[in-house]
Amino acid sequence: MFVGALTLDVLLGDVRSLKQKRSTVRPLIAEVARRFPGASVAETGHLDLYRRAEIGVAVAAPTAARAVEVLEACEHFVAARPDIELLSARQRLFSEEE
């Protein structure tokens, strides 16, 4: 079994408050979770900044290739959003032996 973790650092578009940030980030997280049913998604950082968000995605898979495939699909989905600029994406892969 393999567990993959993806951390996305994103810059939000025309957001001027934490309330507007929530109205942008929550639907994004819900959409990622809906499109990738095996993934767990949450806002994991930059909680006090209104134009930045860190989104964490975790997935468990039987093979490393499948875990990487799902994480890359999540990354491409978020990067394709017109209202969000993806600043960085970091992937980590863990196996049973670690």
Q: What is the pLDDT of residue 98?
A: 65
Domains detected in the chain: 2-91 (3.30.70.1120)
Dihedral sign (CA 74, 79, 83, 87): positive
For residue 73, the model assigns a pLDDT of 97
Question: Can you give the pLDDT of all 98 residues of the chain as single tens digits?
Answer: 999 999 999 999 889 999 999 999 999 999 999 999 999 999 999 999 999 999 999 999 999 999 999 999 999 999 999 989 999 999 999 998 76
Task: Give pLDDT, residue 96.
Answer: 82
